[in-house]
Structure 1
Amino acid sequence: MPQLDRSNFKYNAKVFEKICLWCGTPFFASRSTAKYCCGTCRGYANQAKQSEEAMPYDETEKMISALLSENAYLKGQLQRYVTENDELRKQLLGKAAQ
């Protein structure tokens, strides 16, 4: 349970007043690094973090990936047209020389 009252600590104990990152409840902690008021909030925060990490990538990365693949496709098409143009030019120059 969250320590909402300082009277539960020894009179000379070093106590830190914190705000829970999950529920926003002010609480007293015996550690300076405490982030959550109780194990329940810590568990919920951990579950939320794991569900965010479970997603492979966000929409922006999907758009970038799609644009990169489209760019590669268009680059291939352009290279094919350049090659065909060179072949046609050689054929025309060959016929003009005859």
Structure 2
Amino acid sequence: MPKLDRSDFKYNAKVFEKNCLWCGTTFYASRSTAKYCSGTCRGYANQAKQSEEAVPYEETEKMISALLSENAYLKGQIQRYISDNEELRKIIRQLQSV
């Protein structure tokens, strides 16, 4: 656990002076990868990160609804192109037989 005072470490210990990414407090850590001064700050940072990543339910529902309506529109377009294609094939067959 990081400490706020250098005197808590042995005199010959390898200690890194860091700034907490959450609250900005200067602290001393025995690991070079330490980012937060306490478990509390780490917890708050993780909560903030998770809330940023979460997509609101209403927004998700709107996106699903929009995708479904676009899907239905595209299916209709495909059906129209298929029927047009069949009509053109009939016309081509009639012209070839003449």
Which deviates further from its counterpart, 16-25 or 5-14? 5-14
Name structure 2 gaps, 5 residues minimum.
none
> Which string of whole-angstrom CA distances, capped at 9 and with x for unpartnered residues, describes residues 54-78 of structure 1?
4378x6xx759835851x3333222
Matched, 1:22 2:48: no
> How far did residue 44 of structure 1 move?
1.0
Map 1:1-98 to 2 at 5 A.
Answer: 3-55=3-55, 66=66, 70=70, 72-85=71-84, 86-87=86-87, 90=90
| Structure 1 residues 87 and 21: CA distance shift in structure 2, 3 A | same
Q: Using the alignment, how far apart are the partners of 1:65 and 1:35 within structure 2?
A: 41
Identity %: 72
TM-score of the two chains, using structure 1 as the length reference: 0.60
For the residue of structure 2 that corresponds to 1:73, the secondary structure is: helix
1:28-51 deviations in Å (ceiling 9; x for gaps): 111222111012101212222333
RMSD after superposition: 3.8
**How many equivalent residue pairs?**
89
The aligned amino acid for 2:4 is: L
3-state SS of paired residue (1:48):
helix
- 1:44 partner SS: helix
Change (3 A) 1:37 1:64: same
Task: Return the offset for 1:87.
Answer: 4.4
